[in-house]
Structure 1
Amino acid sequence: MQDILLRQAVASDLEALTQFNQAMALETENKTLDENTLRQGVNGILRHPQFGFYLVAEKGGEIVGSLAVTYEWSDWRNSLFWWIQSVYVLPAHRRQGIYSALYTKAKALAAEQGNVCGFRLYVEKDNLAAQATYQHLGMQECQYFMYQSK
């Protein structure tokens, strides 16, 4: 992993992150997202750090993986949960520890911040490979179901 550079994303990463999100949605949920809306959504995080941030992994100057972190305030714990979202690693770079490195970097940033009580993410029920990766990194299925409405 010495040849991997981990860093917070910047505005010039917008197109790569938009493409990664588009590819992830198609691959995991068979959804084609509206590219303009998606680009604006990615840019929302890049321009408004109060929403969260992206981490990227670069190899040879190319972004090969990313994840987003968004925030949820827990009044019960008087601290934040960091939600991991928009995880994507280019297919040619999978199973090489890139996601693990991004997750470890996020955990280190959370420890530095000092007010993060945990990490959460959601995963498609049928995405067994992702579930195995998360479990390998010490994450556990929680006791909550997720509901949503429009």
Structure 2
Amino acid sequence: MTLRSAEPRDAETIAGFNRAMALETEGRGLQAERSLAGVQRLLRDPALGFYLVAERAGQVVGCLMVTFEWSDWRNGHFWWIQSVYVQPEARRQGVFRALYGHVSAMVDRDESVCGLRLYVESSNVRAQATYGALGMARTHYLVFEQERPGASYFA
């Protein structure tokens, strides 16, 4: 398996993974054009974050996205792991573990980063067990959101 930073040529694959993940985890369809534009925008603007991809035999089999949150309490950035997806046939084969290990090693080398965070569906106990096995701990925080009125992000 090869891990690498995503490139513009990966945008369609990553957007497809994002649409598959939304259906699988939340039963929601994402708008194809909007999801592709979102991936392409992040790939063009490293200030927004970055994607890592895992390849086997030249095929992308998994990915994750990292975005940044400033913590004034810690005077550092949290890196948020998001948009995690591994193709069904590649699951339980260490793909996410390798991606996570790579990101974790990047954090260890960068003193401006104070930690890693991610959110997970409350019913996704399998993913929660995976994250716990990698050394992540559940926090006392809950996530709230308010979407812009009238915006439609789902298909």
Query: Comparing 123-132 with 111-120, which one deviates more in the overlay?
Result: 111-120
Q: Is 2:130 the counterpart of 1:133?
A: yes
Unaligned 5+ runs, structure 2: 148-155
**Structure 1 residue corresponding to 2:20, chosen from 15, 18, 23:** 23
Q: TM-score, normalised by structure 1?
A: 0.96
**1:110: how far off?**
1.7
Q: TM-score, normalised by structure 2?
A: 0.93
Q: Is 2:11 the counterpart of 1:14?
A: yes
1:62-85 Cα deviation digits (max 9, x unpaired): 000000000000011110000000
The total of aligned residue pairs comes to 147
**1:115: how far off?**
1.1
Q: Is 2:86 the counterpart of 1:89?
A: yes
Unaligned 5+ runs, structure 1: none
Query: Partners in 1 of 2:109 and 2:53 — Cα distance?
Result: 19
Alignment correspondent of 1:65? 62
**1:114: how far off?**
2.0
Percent identity, aligned pairs only, is: 52
Superposed CA RMSD in Å reads 0.7
Moved over 6 A (4+): none
Query: Partners in 2 of 1:87 and 1:9 — Cα distance?
Result: 13
